[in-house]
Amino acid sequence: MSKMKEVLLKTPKSELHMHLRGAMPIEVFTDLLNKYSVKEILKDAPSSHKTMFKRYDNIRPFLLPQDWSVDAVSHLFRYETFDQFLYTWCFTGYFVRDVSDLRRLITGVLERLRAQNVVYAEITITVGEYLRRGITLADIKNCLEEAEKFPGIRVQWIVDLVRDTGNKAALKLLNEIIDLRCRSVVGITLGGSEHLFPPGQFSEVYSTARDQGLRLTIHAGEALGPQSIWDALQILGTERVGHGVQAIKDKSLVTYLAKNNVPLEVCPTSNIRTGIVPSYEAHPVKALFEAGVPITINSDDPTFFKTTLTDEYANLHTVGIQERNIFKMIRNGFRYAFLPKKEIERYLDNLEHE
> Catalytic residues, which ones?
222
Compute the distance between CA of residue 313 and CA of residue 333 in angstroms, rounded to an integer.
12
What amino acid occupies position 348? L
Compute the distance between CA of residue 192 and CA of residue 164 in angstroms, rounded to an integer.
6
Phi then psi dihedrals of residue 59, to 5 deg: -95, -35
Compute the distance between CA of residue 189 and CA of residue 173 in angstroms, rounded to an integer.
12
Compute the distance between CA of residue 148 and CA of residue 75 in angstroms, rounded to an integer.
33
Cβ partners under 8 Å of residue 125, min gap 6: 19, 20, 140, 144, 157, 158, 159, 160
The DSSP bridge partners found for residue 14 are 120
Which run of H or E residues covers position 242? strand 241-243
Cα dist from 27 to 71, 97, 112, 278, 282, whole Å: 9, 17, 11, 30, 33
DSSP state of 238: -
